[in-house]
A and B are shown apart, each in its own frame.
Chain A
Amino acid sequence: MSKPHLELTGVDMAFDTPNGPFLALDKVNLKIRKGEFVSLIGHSGCGKSTVLNIVAGLLQATRGGCVLDGHEVNTPGPERAVVFQNHALMPWLTVYENVELAVQQVFRKTMNKKEKRDWIMHNLTLVNMQHAIDKRPGEISGGMAQRVGIARALAMKPSVLLMDEPFGALDALTRAHLQDSLMTIQQELNSTVIMITHDVDEAVLLSDRIVMMTNGPAATVGEELTIDLPRPRNRVALADNPTYVHYRQAVLSFLYEKQTFPGKGDAAEAEPEPTPDVEEPAEPPAAEEAETAPLEPQRRAIA
């Protein structure tokens, strides 16, 4: 508890463009405990995916860095498995072979043939896809393919599971179903998860903590909200739970009152205001709180 599992410190990200460098992220600080489920929420273009890609090692921060279990993250690796928005399964491999590719690579030396086989089947059973192991991604629905994507990521035994809008491309019913599966799996494995989402309900339902990001350019962490709802959580029971509604309200208020849609005419004036407030005073108390009273259901107030 005292030592964070994953820590981002002062992360800046600038992209080179023909018109000079574009500052996408400005001093992003984030600490995540082991077993914590953290959602990143914010408007499009606020740099959520950039944060995730830096943790994944697919992008290199311009300044600052990311430390996982005391090791600096520089390159991608299977201990930080990624679930992509569009499943990213190899279309020429079957469901089984897709997971096998990951298992074969990660456990090449540590597992024998039978252990690998069992481990692949175990993960496919976990996401309830054991019935379609010989199908190709083109022959199954988007929701099923996303399950396989999750199984492939879990099969790497990652210490952090990174999910980039994992349910964004799915219809509402499938999404709800997969959210429930993910909750069960996460509770069972007690894995650390960072998930990017646009969906307020999804964030509140699944997360232990919601990290809300300000609008880009120069996006950073705006507010953090600890969700202290008992698990297992039931979406139907929570729907009129006052605490749940309150959390939901808080996120909506951040997204639609403090950070209006980027590109709106009057947003340009409203936008720069919260940013300076947010950066400086927000981080030290947030860090303190995490150590002293991490379970208290209070908003880490900023504004």
Chain B
Amino acid sequence: MTTFTQSDKLADAPRWLSAVTEKLSPKALLRSGQTLLLPIIGIALFLLFWQLVAPQVNTSLGTFPAPTDVWEQAGQLWQEHSNERDRADRFVTMQEQRNARILQENPDAEVRIRPYPGAPTFIDQIGTSLVTVLSGFLLATLIAVPLGIVVGLNRHFAAAVNPLIQVFKPVSPLAWLPLVTMVVSATYVSDDPMFEKAFLTSMITVTLCSLWPTLINTSVGVAAVNPDLLNVSKVLRLSFWTHTRKVVLPSSVPMIFTGLRVSLGIAWMVLIAAEMLAQNPGLGKFVWDEFQNGSSQSLSRIMVAVVAIGFIGFLLDRIMLLIQKKVAWNE
């Protein structure tokens, strides 16, 4: 059908070619406009609804923040961040000047370089959260992918491990957290710790909750390699290592990446809860501190964090999708 109409069109191309350039380009414009327009309308309607309903919700900290309040607080948080940066810069230059002066007077003097002692800003907290979530996710990947390959390759091992996976998979991060906290405090004892304990607790909790989708998808992908390809591998007498590296792993890359995307999504969700309770200086702590602070702006500031969390989660997923498209052979 399509070929027919195409050849039909091609036959009298010159006649309608000019018509097409006139007609098709506005059409194409309209179509691309629609892809942008409809989401914009959706967002606008949502914001309007929010703006109208928010003042009706009364809390002990005032009414629920409307979009305008949230926007204002977002600006406020940015302002605080830039102010803090300026202060930090000034602190560093002053320190350098002072140290230079001391060294001039006495070249053998020991100068101390102290980090800026100011509280972390919202932007700093986003950075901390990102570092924490990526560390936890990376650790989860390092555990889940090799383990998933072993589970997928060995039927007996899979049968042994499967009940454990099924039981631990649905456990909430909040249940893990106290245990992780206690274990980290007991085992990670060092005079000059490389990581904060709160960071380790949050990271490990993220790992524990986010490794399951990757583990399950990897094992399914590994177990589902095309039997013909397995036969090729047998005919070639590939060693176990070569077989895994050259046949099994590439074949399951699409499945592994699907698992990784789900895992990263879960990791980001879990992180906020973990940071709240572990007091890791990230977005979770920001939300918790604002809640405890209980000023009239707190709710708006929390709402800024909610929107930021949503955007960052969306961006992380997009980045994973881009990597998947680069790496996976079926994309």
Q: Residues of A at under 8 Å CB distance from B?
A: 56-58, 75-78, 80-82, 84, 86, 88, 90-93, 101-102, 105-106, 136, 156
Contacts and interface: CB of A to CB of B under 8 A. Distances in A.
A88 B236 CA distance: 13
Given A78-B235, A80-B235, A92-B253, 20 more contacts: A57-B234, A58-B231, A58-B234, A58-B235, A75-B234, A75-B237, A77-B235, A81-B235, A82-B232, A82-B235, A86-B228, A88-B226, A88-B228, A88-B231, A92-B251, A101-B236, A101-B246, A105-B237, A136-B329, A156-B236
A26 B17 CA distance: 70
A84 B228 contact: yes
B235 A91 contact: no
DSSP majority for the B interface? helix
B142 interface: no
Of the candidates B232, B247, B253, the one having the most CB atoms from chain A within 10 angstroms of its own CB is B232
Contacts of A78: 235-237
Interface in B45-78: none
B237 A84 contact: no
B238 A105 contact: yes
7 contacts: A56-B231, A56-B235, A57-B234, A75-B237, A78-B236, A88-B226, A101-B246
A77 B242 CA distance: 15
A92 B250 contact: yes
A81 B235 CA distance: 7
Contacts of A82: 231-232, 235
A106 B238 CA distance: 9
Contacts of A58: 231, 234-235
B228 A91 contact: no
Given A82-B235, A105-B242, A106-B236, A90 B247 contact: yes
A91 B329 contact: yes
DSSP majority for the A interface? loop
Contact of B231 (A77, A84, A93): A84
Nearest to A88: B228
Contact of A88 (B229, B242, B250): B229
Contacts of B242: 105
Contacts of A91: 329-330
A75 B233 CA distance: 12
B232 A84 contact: yes
A57 B235 CA distance: 8
B17 to A, nearest CB: 32
A298 to B, nearest CB: 36
Nearest to B228: A88
A76 B234 contact: yes
Contacts of A56: 231, 235
B236 A105 contact: yes
A101 B246 CA distance: 8
Contacts of B253: 92
A102 B236 CA distance: 6
A204 B327 CA distance: 47
Given A92-B251, A105-B237, A105-B242, A76 B330 contact: no
Nearest to B234: A76
A78 B251 CA distance: 22
Contact of B235 (A76, A92, A93): A76
A102 B231 CA distance: 13
Contact of B250 (A80, A86, A90): A90
Nearest to A98: B232
B224 to A, nearest CB: 14
Contacts of A90: 229, 232, 246-247, 250-251
A160 to B, nearest CB: 12
Contacts of A101: 236, 246
Interface in B210-233: 226, 228-229, 231-232
A9 B228 CA distance: 27
Contacts of B231: 56, 58, 76, 82, 84, 88
Of the candidates A90, A91, A93, A106, the one having the most CB atoms from chain B within 10 angstroms of its own CB is A90
